[in-house]
């Protein structure tokens, strides 16, 4: 989706560029700095989305000694997403992916008569070696490492299926069909090794899906974006303050009523400080831009007042949906920003390890003839994506930010 959005601002916007709606002074301040073409790290990058059938033969063997179960259900629907991949020529690619079932393994008729679930998630890094069969059809082999995370369950305070997190080999193979320059159809079989030590069976995933490739943009599209008179900040510094004085209504709405974001069981009361810097790396003619950023924040939890800090790097996609004479208005979205978190227990709850991910969504504006003044409001979330056994999620309330862009 990221690549599709980034490339969609080309040809249609080129016609609008001859009649800009913003002041000409803004255009004079925005000199061409090469951001109309994908940077080297994005050129020939790709993302995948694959759905299919996952299988791992869970049984009573995963139970601790002395426990019994009447039935074990293994749902098979699952998804695997390549969060970032890179083509190194025609024959070799590298990728990082995340895989999980739609529903988790369910143990019914346990010793206490109850039903419990064992949660599963997989993260991986791998290489793909490709052999072209025809101009459009290729077969591939995949090899790499996967982190398997299983969150088990207890009866009382006694583990029945234990938590487990471990690294192991991943292998796979499949076939690719090039639909056009940007889109491929893919189908394959992936195997993640189990672990006797953790009583974890091996996992197979049979899937089909689509790949979107960020091929370098045509010269005409790049020229149109470079010559357009629309402002995209190359540098943005922001400071902010978070507070739960207005409650968590927005967080709950977009994580529950309209499920486009995430909530969290650990809640933040307020921030002591939020400082961040964003660097623009790509933009289309008028609508979309991609930034990378770094953020430091200091937080205080709601229940026990635990103080903790986070340091994140992150990608950010910005949609400037309205441009007027006084200001440009935008929405932004960021997912899976790698983050260091200073505490692993917050409000008496295990929050996972010191590694987590940052996600946030925001609305804001660049104001004034030079589009330097920036005002923004956002909600934030931290979680490890279930790649660690403990993952309650951390909910950040409304954050109000002021910034300066160049």
Place of tokens 């010559």: 227
* Pairwise CA distance, residues 154 & 63, whole Å: 10
Mean pLDDT of 286-309: 96
Kindly state the DSSP code that residue 74 receives in the 8-state scheme: -
Query: Domains of the chain by range and CATH?
Result: 2-37+219-405 (2.40.160.20), 45-214 (2.40.160.20)
d(CA 162, CA 41): 40
What pLDDT score was predicted for residue 243?
93
Cα–chain center distance at 352: 18
pTM: 0.84
Phi and psi dihedrals of 103, rounded to 5?
Answer: -130, 150
- Taking a C-beta distance cutoff of 8 angstroms, is the pair 376, 360 a contact? no
- Residue 5 makes CB contacts below 8 A (sequence gap 6+) with 288, 317, 319
Partner residues linked to 339 by β-bridges: 312, 356
Q: What is the pLDDT of residue 32?
A: 55
The predicted structure's pLDDT at residue 317: 96
Q: What is the pLDDT of residue 19?
A: 37
Classify residue 113 as exposed, middle or buried by CB count within 10 Å of its CB (0-12, 13-18, 19+): exposed
What percent of the chain has pLDDT above 90? 82
Average pLDDT score, the chain: 91
Residue 7: enclosing H or E segment and its boundaries?
helix 2-7
Residue range 218-249, pLDDT digits in tens = 999 999 888 888 999 999 999 999 999 989 99
Report how far residue 45's alpha carbon sits from residue 88's, in angstroms, rounded to the nearest whole number: 9
49: tokens are 């989305």
User: Residue 382 forms beta bridges with which residues?
Assistant: 358, 394
Question: Structure tokens of 175?
Answer: 């076939």
State yes or no: pLDDT of 25 exceeds 50.
no
Mean per-residue pLDDT for 153-177? 95
- pLDDT for the residue 18: 35
Gap between the Cα atoms of 159 and 139, Å rounded:
44
Instruction: Read off the DSSP letter of residue 255.
Output: I
pLDDT digits (tens, 9 = 90+) for 61-104: 999 999 999 999 999 999 999 999 999 999 999 999 999 999 99
Other C-beta atoms closer than 10 Å to the C-beta of 406 total 13
């Amino acid at each position: 989706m990221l690549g599709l959005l980034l490339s969609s601002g080309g040809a249609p916007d080129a016609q609008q560029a001859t009649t800009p709606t913003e002041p000409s002074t803004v255009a004079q301040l925005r000199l061409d700095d090469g951001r109309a073409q994908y940077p080297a790290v994005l050129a020939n990058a790709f993302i995948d989305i694959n759905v299919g059938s996952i299988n791992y033969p869970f049984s009573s063997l995963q139970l601790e000694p002395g426990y019994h179960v009447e039935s074990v259900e293994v749902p098979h629907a699952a998804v695997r997403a390549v969060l970032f991949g890179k083509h190194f020529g025609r024959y070799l690619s590298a990728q990082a992916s995340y895989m999980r079932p739609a529903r988790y393994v369910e143990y019914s008729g346990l010793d206490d008569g109850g039903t419990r679930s064992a949660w599963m998630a997989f993260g991986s890094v791998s290489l793909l070696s490709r052999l072209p069969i025809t101009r459009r059809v290729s077969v591939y082999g995949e090899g790499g490492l996967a982190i398997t995370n299983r969150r088990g369950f207890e009866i009382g305070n006694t583990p029945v299926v234990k938590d487990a997190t471990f690294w192991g080999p991943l292998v796979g193979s499949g076939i690719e069909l090039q639909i056009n320059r940007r889109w491929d159809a893919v189908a394959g079989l992936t195997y993640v090794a189990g672990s006797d030590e953790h009583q974890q069976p091996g996992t197979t995933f049979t899937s089909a899906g689509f790949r979107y490739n960020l091929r370098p943009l045509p010269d005409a599209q790049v020229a149109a974006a470079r010559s357009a008179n629309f402002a995209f900040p190359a540098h943005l510094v922001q400071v902010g303050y978070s507070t739960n004085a207005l409650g968590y209504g927005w967080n709950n709405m977009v994580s529950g009523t309209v499920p486009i974001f995430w909530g969290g069981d650990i809640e933040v009361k307020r921030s002591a400080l939020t400082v961040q810097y964003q660097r623009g790396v790509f933009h289309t003619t008028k609508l979309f831009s991609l930034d990378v950023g770094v953020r430091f924040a200091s937080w205080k939890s709601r229940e026990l007042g635990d103080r903790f800090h986070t340091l994140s790097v992150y990608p950010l996609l910005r949609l400037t949906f309205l441009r007027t004479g006084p200001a440009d208005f935008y929405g932004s979205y960021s997912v899976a920003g790698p983050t260091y978190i200073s505490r692993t227990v917050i409000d008496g709850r295990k929050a996972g390890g010191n590694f987590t991910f940052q996600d946030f969504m925001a609305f804001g504006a660049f104001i004034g003839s030079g589009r330097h003044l920036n005002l923004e409001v956002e909600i934030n979330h931290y979680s490890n994506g279930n790649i660690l056994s403990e993952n309650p999620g951390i909910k950040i309330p409304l954050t109000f930010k002021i910034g300066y862009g160049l």
